Structure 1
């Protein structure tokens, strides 16, 4: 990620390391010497479309981007009264709100958030020794801060394998097929095929993303993400995620395997 950002972004970039998994606000606090004034905080496990232009004129202390969803029980939700967020509830078991918190925050004064995080840590407001931003913002609300919701137009969660594959579908539906034609094989649109992927005597797609250096022979692959350098032979994969440099042979069904895994039936 660091290499990609430095090579592709035309803005100054800096990186801060979190040595231990101590949650969101521990990570944010480690950037306090780099980030002051106002800031936009975005969590990387989702895709979204949103209009940030209203932030130029916002007077609220915090803006939390949100989306109405049918079942927010696996997420945090915001309870809104008179246009202001008054309470944040993590993974509600009772239907207090269907306004999901999606991991995008505008903070007008980062020193105010840092102070709330320090108070959060003093009170040990954590879950399994991890500190979450919702607790820090709730402290700001309790202290009189104005926190408002702002909707996103699109949001796709990538937090688990099923959601990642659904997001893959979403992107391919929007952008269509990309990549080489793979003579001797059938590519079913929409799919993404890296230019240097080798696909022989196979059917790939729909909704397949095939990374650089992948080799697929005598196989059927659909609704799957095959990462760089993987090799697939005589397999039938559906709703699968195959990690970098993994080797699959003679398998039929769904897989979710990591880098360098080897499966041979």
Structure 2
């Protein structure tokens, strides 16, 4: 069995962060989201992994390498444009051959991994197996309709009037039967080859399509709100440690990880939280559910429920909450006189200002 991991995509909902970084490499608890998926695939006993890449191919390649750090062997497959999940299967045909495979969206996060699902699929070998979960906003997802026996009878991509609240999770399992399906469908109104259409084709051909509804935690980390929530969840499981230096005037409460080379002085840190390697925290408050990446500076400031990426600095800022701070960003107070806001913002930025 092989795996196909999708790591293309523009990440428009995470702009401006994704103008300069792949969305799959934005860190959760100081580890890229993509790495959690690769680890789950390796834990399921799958070693041959095809990684679909797009415009951020160089960055993805640098981060993953040959896959040996994860116990897998990686083959990179270039997708010249984001033309849909079924298109990714289409261009991966030679790599996949006649093997069964799991397709995993690289920006998805599933607690508990996929080992049980893969083992079940290997035993039963339906033509397709999909994961479903109940969501409050099904119009934003691919949605499945089940019959009274729980079998999949129809799928629809981002329906205006959804027939259920069961959304497709970004993990799919297929036999080689899916290759005929992706060749048989036409692009949707979005101009993409939809995997939901390919699975619907299998259903229409009376092929064996099964579903598993998961009750555990799943998130598509494609926006800041979900990214922060996943970060909070993962931090709850992080093992506390103090590999960096913490002076006697600092108070550390709860599950806190202070990594090698970090320096914390005259501060208060309330976990769960991580202070990355080589970072400096001084005269500051780091609140719960906060990840500070490596080589950051948090000085005379307060921050809580946030993610701070590599090399960022926050100095003299009274309070930062529910924020995603990009790499090498500088956050400082505005001059008090005159009382104005001075902003330098990238395209598609979102800013909230207290009046």
- The answer as to 2:228 corresponding to 1:165 is yes
- Note the alpha carbon deviations across 1:212-250, whole angstroms, 9 max, x for none: 111111111111111011111112211100111111111
How far apart in 1 are the matches of 2:326 and 2:277?
18
Q: Tell me the TM-score normalised to structure 2 length.
A: 0.66
1:152-191 correspondence runs (5 A):
152=214, 153-175=216-238, 176-180=255-259, 182-191=264-273
Contact 1:194 1:212 in 2 (8 A): yes
How far apart in 2 are the matches of 1:151 and 1:168?
24
**1:92: how far off?**
3.3
Q: Give the unaligned 5+ runs of structure 1.
A: none
Runs of 4 or more, structure 1, over 4 Å off, are: none
Contact 2:203 2:209 in 1 (8 A): yes
Using the TM superposition, name which of 68-77 and 133-142 deviates more: 68-77
- The answer as to 2:104 corresponding to 1:42 is yes
How far apart in 2 are the matches of 1:101 and 1:159?
15
How far apart in 1 are the matches of 2:168 and 2:83?
20
How far apart in 1 are the matches of 2:189 and 2:225?
25
How far apart in 2 are the matches of 1:75 and 1:96?
12
> 1:91/1:214 Cα in 2 relative to 1: closer, same or farther (>3 Å)?
same
Partner of 1:222: 304
How far apart in 1 are the matches of 2:175 and 2:258?
43
> 1:94/1:126 Cα in 2 relative to 1: closer, same or farther (>3 Å)?
closer
Question: How many residue pairs were aligned?
Answer: 252
Partner of 1:2: 61
Partner of 1:16: 77
- Note the alpha carbon deviations across 1:38-93, whole angstroms, 9 max, x for none: 00001122211342221221231100011123442321211112232110122234
**1:140: how far off?**
1.5
How far apart in 1 are the matches of 2:94 and 2:158?
32
Match of 1:113 among 166, 174, 178: 178
1:1-265 correspondence runs (5 A):
1-5=60-64, 6=66, 7-36=68-97, 37-48=99-110, 49=112, 50=114, 51-52=116-117, 53-81=119-147, 82-109=149-176, 112-120=177-185, 123=186, 125-152=187-214, 153-175=216-238, 176-180=255-259, 182-235=264-317, 236-250=319-333
Contact 1:84 1:146 in 2 (8 A): no
- Alpha-carbon RMSD across the aligned residues, in angstroms, is 2.4
**1:4: how far off?**
3.5
How far apart in 1 are the matches of 2:331 and 2:95?
45
How far apart in 2 are the matches of 1:177 and 1:74?
35
Q: Give the unaligned 5+ runs of structure 2.
A: 1-59, 239-254, 335-342
Contact 1:187 1:204 in 2 (8 A): yes
Q: Tell me the TM-score normalised to structure 1 length.
A: 0.87
How far apart in 1 are the matches of 2:96 and 2:316?
52
How far apart in 1 are the matches of 2:69 and 2:125?
33
**1:95: how far off?**
4.7
Contact 1:226 1:241 in 2 (8 A): yes
How far apart in 2 are the matches of 1:93 and 1:145?
27
**1:26: how far off?**
1.8
How far apart in 2 are the matches of 1:55 and 1:179?
41
